[in-house]
Amino acid sequence: MDKNAEIALKLQALRADYAARLPVEIQQLRSLVEHLTKPDPAIQLDALNQLRQRLHKLAGSAGSFGFPELGKQAKKLELQTQAWIDSNQLDLGLVRVFAVAVAALDGLAQNDSPKKTPVVSQLAPLKTNILIYVLEDDQDIADEVCMTLRHFGHQVEHFSTIAAAEAEVLRHPPDFMICDIMFTEEGRETPEAVAIMQQQLPVPIPVIFVSTRTDFDAYHAAVRAGAVGYFVKPLDIIRLVDCFEYYLDRNRSAPHRVLIIDDDLELAEHYKLVLSSADIRAEVINNPREVFEKLQDFHPELILLDINMPGCDGAELAQVIRLNQDWLRIPITYLSSEQDEEKRANAMGRAGDDFLSKPLGDRELVTAVSVRAARSRQLSDALDRDSLTGLLKHSRIKEQVDVELSRAIRSGDSLSLVMLDLDHFKQVNDTYGHPAGDKVIKAIAHLLRQRLRKSDAVGRYGGEEFVAVLPRCGRDEALALMEDVRQRFSEITFTVDQRSFNVTLSVGIAAYREGVARAEQLLQEADAALYKAKAEGRNRICS
C-alpha cells in the first residue's frame, strides 16, 4: 500500500472514531446542562466551565472531521456559556432554551453528511535521475552543457533541431528543458514552439532559454513559454547550472518540520496525517512540559499552538518558548476557534506571530502551513547559509555534527563525517582569477547537494573546505558515495577566456564508533584523514 492510500485509511478511521464518540459527548453535554438548574452556585459555575471547555473543543474539531454545521452550532453555544460566566448570572428561561439547543446537537451529528476525508496531495516519488532535453544547434555549446549536466548525475538528451525535439517532448516529456532561442537553419524561434508544446502537456515543463538577444521581446516570449531562467551568450555554464539546481533543490530539500501542540490529541493527529500527505513532517504533543525536549530533538520550523489548553494556555506556553534564546526564530501560529477579538489580540501580543481559526479545512491547513514553514526556512537560510554556495555556514554545520552525533549515540545508528578540500585552489585563483574560483566552489557545492540525500547536511567549513554529515551511513557507504563525487568533480571542465582547466579534491572520512562522545573528536578524525589524503598526493579519499 502506498503512502497516500495508507494516510487516507487512517484519516477515515479517525473520522469514524470521532463520529462514533459524538453521541456520548453530546449526552455528557446534556448532563452538564442539567447541573445548571441546581441551586448551588458552585455547581452551576463548575458546570458552565466544563460546558465552555467541551463546546470549545467541539467547535474547533467538528468541522475538520466533516461535521461543519455541528461545529457552528457548538460555537454559538460556547459563546452563550462564556457570556453567563462573564456576567456571573444565569437566566433559567434561557437555560431551558439552551438545553433544547444542546439536545439538537445529536440530530446535527446524525444528519450532517460529510464527504470522505480527502488526501490533500498525491505526491510523485522523488526522482534522483532528472531527464533534461537540450535544444541547441551550436554543437560546441551543446557538448559543453550536456557534459557538465551529466557530471552532475543527470540524464541528458540533445536535439539539434526543434522539429526533432517536438515529437519526443510530447511522447516522453522531460523534467527540464534548456533551449537556444533561435534555430537559424530551420528559421524558427524556440519560445513559440515551446509555448505550443506546453499547451499540450498535462504539466508545464520548466525551461531555461539561452540567446545572444537582450531585447525585451525575447525575454517576454521566453516568459510566455514557461521560462524560469534566461542566459545571454557567451554562456556561463556554472551560472546556468546554478539556476537549474535552484529549482531542483525545491523538490530535493528535506520536508518542512511542524510541531503541533494541542490538548485535543484526536484533532492534532488528524492535522498530522493531513500534513504528512503533503510531505510535511509533523510531531504532536499535548503536555506543555514536554516542549523543550521536543524542540531540542525535532527542531521545528513552525509551531502550531492551540490557545485554550488546561494548566498552561497557548499564550503562556508561547512566552515560555520565547524565554529560551535558542527558539526565538521559530514562528508560532496560534490555532483556535476563539472569536473574541480582544483575546486574540492579547494572545498575538504575547509572543505569537500569526493566528489560524478552527475549524481548518485540509487544503487550508496545508496551504497555510506550507507558506509559513517555507518562509521560516527562507529566513533561517539567509542567516545560516553561505551566500555563494547556499550551504550551511561553519557554525551551523558544526551544530549539525553535534545533533547527528547525539542521535547516533541514542539510537546506535551509523554516522559518517566527511571533510573535503579542493586541491591547489590557490593556483586556480592566481591563474584564472577569483571569479573562476567562485565558479569552482559553486560547482562542488552543486555536486554535493545533488549527490547526497535529503537527510544529509552539507556546509562550507572554510574557503575551499567543506563538511558533510551523513546520518545512518557507514564508513563503506560513505567511501563509495564520496568516490562517486570525487570522480564526477574531476571530470568537470571549467573555461575562462578560452582556457580550460579541471580541479580535483581530497577527502577525509571519519565514522562514528562506540566511545566517540564529542563532535569535536569526530571532526578532528575527519581532518586528520583529509591531511593524510593530501600528504599522499591529493585527489584521493582516506579514512
Pick from 110, 87, 102: nearest CA to 27: 102
Q: How far is it, in rounded angstroms, from Cα 337 to Cα 325?
A: 30
What does DSSP say about strands 465-471 and 457-460: parallel, antiparallel, or unpaired?
antiparallel
Distance CA 424, CA 264 (A): 60
What is the amino acid identity at position 513? R
Residue 125 is predicted with a pLDDT of 42
pLDDT of the residue at 124: 43
pLDDT of the chain, 543 residues: tens digit per residue? 667 788 888 888 888 899 889 999 999 999 999 998 888 889 989 999 999 989 988 988 888 888 888 988 999 999 899 889 988 888 888 889 999 999 999 888 886 655 544 444 444 444 556 899 999 998 888 888 888 888 777 899 999 999 999 989 999 999 999 999 989 888 888 999 999 999 999 888 999 999 999 999 999 999 999 899 999 988 877 778 778 777 776 655 678 899 999 988 899 999 999 999 888 999 999 888 999 989 988 889 999 999 888 888 888 899 999 998 888 889 999 988 777 777 778 777 778 888 888 888 888 899 999 888 888 887 887 778 888 888 889 888 998 898 899 888 888 889 999 999 999 999 999 999 998 899 899 889 988 988 888 789 999 998 899 999 999 999 999 999 999 999 999 988 888 888 889 999 999 999 998 888 888 989 999 999 999 999 999 999 998
Per-residue model confidence (pLDDT) at position 122? 45
DSSP letter for 344, please.
H
The rounded Cα 535 to chain-centroid distance in angstroms is 41
Helix (H, G, I), strand (E, B) or coil at 526: helix
Amino acid 126: pLDDT: 43
**Three-class secondary structure assignment of 364-417:** HHHHHHHHHHHHHHHHHHHHHECCCCCCECHHHHHHHHHHHHHHHHHHCCCEEE
Query: Strands 227-232 and 257-261: what pairing?
Result: unpaired
pLDDT at residue 112, as a whole number: 61
DSSP state letter for 262: -
Res 252: pLDDT? 56
CA nearest neighbour of 469 among 280, 279, 254, 303: 254
The residues, ordered by sequence, that sit 6+ positions from 265 with a Cβ below 8 Å of its Cβ are 284, 286
Residue 487's CB is within 10 A of a number of other CB atoms, namely 12
- Say how many residues make up the chain: 543
Which pLDDT does position 253 carry in this prediction? 66
- What angle in degrees, to the nearest 10, is found between the helix axes of 265-277 and 362-384? 70
Place of cell 568537470: 492
pLDDT score of 134: 94
| Residues 30-69: tens digit of each pLDDT | 999 999 888 888 998 999 999 998 998 898 888 888 888 8
Q: What pTM value is reported for the model? A: 0.64
Cis bond before residue 234 (omega within 30° of 0):
yes
Backbone phi and psi for residue 342, each to the nearest 5 degrees, phi listed first: -65, -40
Convert the pLDDT of each residue in 146-184 to its tens digit. 888 887 778 999 999 999 999 899 999 999 999 999 898
Written as nine digits, the cell of 218 is 525575447
Question: Which pLDDT does position 120 carry in this prediction?
Answer: 46
Q: For residue 154, give the nearest of 36, 247, 21, 19 by alpha carbon.
A: 247
Question: What DSSP character marks residue 136?
Answer: -
